[in-house]
Amino acid sequence: MPLLSADPAAFPAEPPSDPRDPVAIAAHDWAAFSALDEMADHWSRPGWSDGSRAYYWMLAFPDEPELTALALRCQEALEPLGLDPVPADGLHITLTRIGTPDTVTPAQLESLARDVEPLLPTEFSLQAIPLAGSRGAVRLSLGPWEPLLELHTGLAEGIRGTGLVTRKPTAIYRPHLSLAYNNRHRLAAPVIEAVAGLRALPPVELPVAAVQLVELRRSGREYRWDVLKSLPLT
């Protein structure tokens, strides 16, 4: 498993004590989130305005009813906070950014999809665990991290082999699945209190049998995408 390192730009900045243990990961995520004093507007990210597009590797879950039900239950409980809920068909795990349409050619995408196939791990399962957050979102913890880190490493190697540049190395990757985005600067305490009441919900199992190469776009206060390639993990 790749070594993880601390990074002040990541959240949590420190990696968990045991990235193989879902319980340890969830506790670590919660400790970092519950220590926040303030939350930031997720949509004020520089260079990612409404209509922006970029190519990403991600995991999408359009046909996982247990995940959809868990997301909806959490979102309904958090509704008084005025967060921006992720729609059921928008639930995803971001893996790594590839580039933008004006910097990556269709030929490079084809080459990337072809070259990355032998670097992919076999299919695996994750636990999606209620509930924690970050400076800009409320999100499910994921565990174990080991298969996600292996997948991230293969994808990053493929990107470098195509002559492109990975923005974030695997060492500072922090897997998560966002359920709602914070849309203004606010004190964190009311969000932390609301999230704390959902932490007793049981986790759900997520099978991961394919990875998607997508063109991701920001549409208002949502993320939408078109799948360009879906590569099986066999």
Between strands 210-219 and 204-208, the pairing is unpaired
CATH architecture of the domain with residue range 26-43+50-232 = Alpha-Beta Complex (3.90)
Question: Per-residue confidence of the chain (234 residues) as pLDDT tens digits?
Answer: 668 999 999 999 999 999 999 999 999 999 999 999 999 999 998 888 999 999 999 999 988 999 999 999 999 999 999 999 999 999 999 999 999 999 999 999 999 999 999 999 999 999 999 999 999 999 999 999 999 999 999 999 999 988 888 888 999 999 999 999 999 999 999 999 999 999 999 999 999 999 999 999 999 999 999 999 999 998
- At residue 1, the pLDDT reads 62
Domain parsing of the chain, residue ranges: 26-43+50-232
Whether the pTM exceeds 0.85: the reply is yes
